[in-house]
């Protein structure tokens, strides 16, 4: 498997302070195709935008609402960034924000690999694709990655419904909900069938609706998808990634319930990393669970139920700042 030497060409975290006036963000480092915004300093939903659905079209991870067109949030995707409008959701005056940015492949192309035609924006180098389709019943959906995805996050954009998350670490007979604290549940959401290098299996019992999915495949030096068991100790589990992490998202799946914690290397510049945002909550940033971001992985330093309760099980995903050692021989440095 080819290794990614410069993860910042495909994923980057951007911190900024809102202006309350139209605001151009132009230093992402690539042309972003998927942007996940969260206000840090006050309560607000997490808002997601992507090139396939188009600018102005927001969905929130912390509720079941369908897609909504908002003219003063993300107004346009631009070269190296995007333009924000005057809305306090993403650009309130003197308000702090974080935006997590991924590169796919523009607005997408038609994909006929499945039982329906999907629109797919795929970056096969970094293992990330954005997929849009019309669902109804049991459907096979082309994802464009060329390898089997390890994680799929999907949502109806035309109707109020829960987010659905599937994971190879969880097993495709189960699912989680991104907008709740629920533990994993047996479900036919993915037809109890592992995805392939071409398609994933999706089942929706309601009438026809439009859907979006964000699909991730593990790539050496860039992304890691894992599961672990809690030990209830501040000397918690070490999670090997093979790179210095930039973003870590985690969720308890059995033994208790808890939210989707989000930690990154920009909001915390030294260990332990503990400024937590929660994908299923509109809460402002808060000091919560401690995790050390190391040159080769993550060391859990908290005993809390959301991340490390004895007997509970967890899944997580991490994206890289730097590989442990690049193919150019340059090593990642510890904090």
How does pLDDT run across 224-279, given as a tens digit for each residue?
999 999 999 999 999 999 999 999 999 999 999 999 999 999 999 999 999 999 99
How does pLDDT run across 312-324, given as a tens digit for each residue?
999 999 999 998 6
Q: Which two tokens stand for residue 55?
A: 């600018």
Residue 335 has pLDDT above 90, yes or no: no
CA distances for 8 relative to 31, 72, 163, 270, 324, angstroms: 11, 28, 28, 19, 14
How does pLDDT run across 90-141, given as a tens digit for each residue?
999 999 999 999 999 999 999 999 999 999 999 999 999 999 999 878 899 9
| Rounded Cα–Cα distance for residues 256 and 249 (Å) | 17
Q: Which two tokens stand for residue 32?
A: 């972003």
| Rounded Cα–Cα distance for residues 147 and 154 (Å) | 18
Rounded to two decimals, what is the model's pTM? 0.96
CA distances for 122 relative to 10, 78, 125, 143, 245, angstroms: 12, 18, 9, 8, 23
């Amino acid at each position: 498997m080819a290794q990614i030497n410069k993860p910042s060409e495909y994923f980057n975290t951007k911190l900024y302070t809102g202006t309350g006036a139209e605001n151009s963000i132009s230093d992402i480092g690539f042309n972003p195709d998927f942007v996940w915004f969260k206000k840090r300093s006050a309560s607000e939903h997490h808002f997601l935008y992507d090139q396939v659905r188009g600018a102005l079209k927001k969905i929130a991870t912390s509720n079941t609402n369908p897609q909504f067109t908002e003219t003063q949030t993300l107004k346009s995707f631009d070269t190296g960034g995007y333009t924000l409008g005057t809305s306090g959701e993403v650009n309130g005056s003197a308000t702090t924000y974080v935006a997590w940015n991924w590169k796919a492949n523009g607005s997408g192309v038609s994909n006929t690999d499945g039982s329906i035609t999907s629109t797919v924006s795929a970056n096969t180098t970094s293992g990330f694709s954005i997929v849009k389709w019309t669902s109804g019943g049991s459907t096979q959906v082309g994802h464009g990655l060329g390898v089997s995805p390890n994680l799929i996050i999907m949502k109806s954009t035309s109707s109020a419904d829960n987010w659905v998350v599937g994971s190879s670490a969880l097993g495709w007979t189960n699912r989680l909900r991104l907008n709740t604290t629920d533990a994993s549940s047996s479900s036919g959401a993915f037809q109890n069938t592992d995805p392939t290098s071409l398609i994933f299996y999706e089942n929706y019992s309601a009438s026809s609706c439009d859907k979006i999915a964000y699909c991730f495949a593990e790539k050496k030096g860039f992304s890691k998808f894992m599961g672990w068991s809690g030990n209830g100790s501040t000397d918690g589990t070490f999670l090997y990634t093979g790179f210095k992490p930039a973003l870590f998202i985690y969720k308890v799946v059995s033994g208790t319930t808890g939210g989707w914690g989000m930690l990154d290397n920009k909001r915390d510049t030294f260990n332990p990393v503990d400024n937590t945002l929660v994908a299923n909550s509109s809460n402002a940033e808060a000091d919560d669970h401690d995790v050390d971001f190391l040159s080769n992985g993550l060391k859990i330093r908290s005993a809390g139920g959301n991340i490390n309760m004895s007997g509970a099980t967890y899944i997580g995903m991490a994206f890289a700042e730097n590989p442990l050692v690049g193919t150019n021989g340059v090593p990642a440095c510890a904090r």
